[in-house]
Amino acid sequence: MHEPEFDYRKPILVKPHLFKSGEPVICLDKKLVEKKDEIALGIEFICRRQLFGRVYARLTGSYFWNMPRNSGVMIAPFIMTYDIFPDKKFPGDIDLLIIPYENNELILSRVLAIELKIIRAKYSKQGKSPNDYGFSQALGLLNFGLPYAAVGHLVISDESPKDAWRRTSVATVISAVDGRISPLREIQMDLMPLDLLRRSVGRLSSNTPNDKLGFFAAYLSDDRNHHWEPEGRVAMLNSKYSHESLDKIAQYYYQNTTKFFMTPRFDPV
């Protein structure tokens, strides 16, 4: 993420509720969850804060690693475009609207909008390509005058049969303070998620129509206790950003604060 040529901020005024680990976040229609609908998976993605953070690091680069202590992001999922930009018709919604904050300020000059697509893979059909990569919608977001936009592919799949598992090496963290780990040991493991991620991000890289767009592929595992490292590319600054558009986003935040998920950069002390 290139450093913006401007630093545009507004006061937060009111912060959304900060949900703690294990706290109920949102009620969804059971059918959306059972059929793994895009909305259900998108909400799951932003609630998996570690995985979301790794993706955000991929899309923002050095900005993520330099965020100060009292900082983070406000995330509004699946909002209608006309609620912010009444004169815009395409795309019809913004899957994820992300506004960084530092202390008591919204960092509007680093607003990032993401278009999500779900990649539903099977062991028997690992090479299936999506009909729509999401690039046209993401370009539409840049045309709104937003500083940054990206496409994200959330990958889900079944498991490989045990006879298709492969050898890999693992280690156990002995000390998170000084980074000591145990000696490597070999295990058999299902590495299909890794293959799917690399294939997905390879397609994104080969088909992207604009070097300003960021992109990522992230795997949503059924195991909530770990994640596969996402792959992706940094989003670049849109030279056609608009202060007027950022003012509209700030106004939307003020009027709809409860629609945002607050995700701190660092665990609250």
| pTM, 2 dp | 0.92
**What local confidence, expressed as pLDDT, does residue 112 receive?**
98
Q: What is the CA radius of gyration of the chain?
A: 19
163 pLDDT tier (thresholds 50, 70, 90): very high
Average pLDDT of the segment spanning 120-146: 87
**What local confidence, expressed as pLDDT, does residue 74 receive?**
98
What mean pLDDT, rounded, does the chain reach? 91
pLDDT digits (tens, 9 = 90+) for 195-250: 999 999 999 999 999 999 999 999 998 877 678 999 999 999 999 999 999 999 99
Question: Nearest CA to 140 among 48, 46, 238?
Answer: 238
Res. 16: pLDDT tops 90:
yes
Contact 170, 184 (CB under 8 A): yes
**What local confidence, expressed as pLDDT, does residue 5 receive?**
60
136 pLDDT tier (thresholds 50, 70, 90): very high
24 pLDDT tier (thresholds 50, 70, 90): confident
Strands (E), 18-103: 71-80, 93-102
Q: Phi and psi for 14 in degrees, rounded to 5?
A: -130, 135
CA dihedral (192, 198, 199, 201) in degrees, to 10, reads 140
pLDDT digits (tens, 9 = 90+) for 56-82: 999 999 999 999 999 999 999 999 999
Residue spans per domain, the chain: 9-159+190-264
Question: Nearest CA to 158 among 129, 208, 109, 123?
Answer: 123
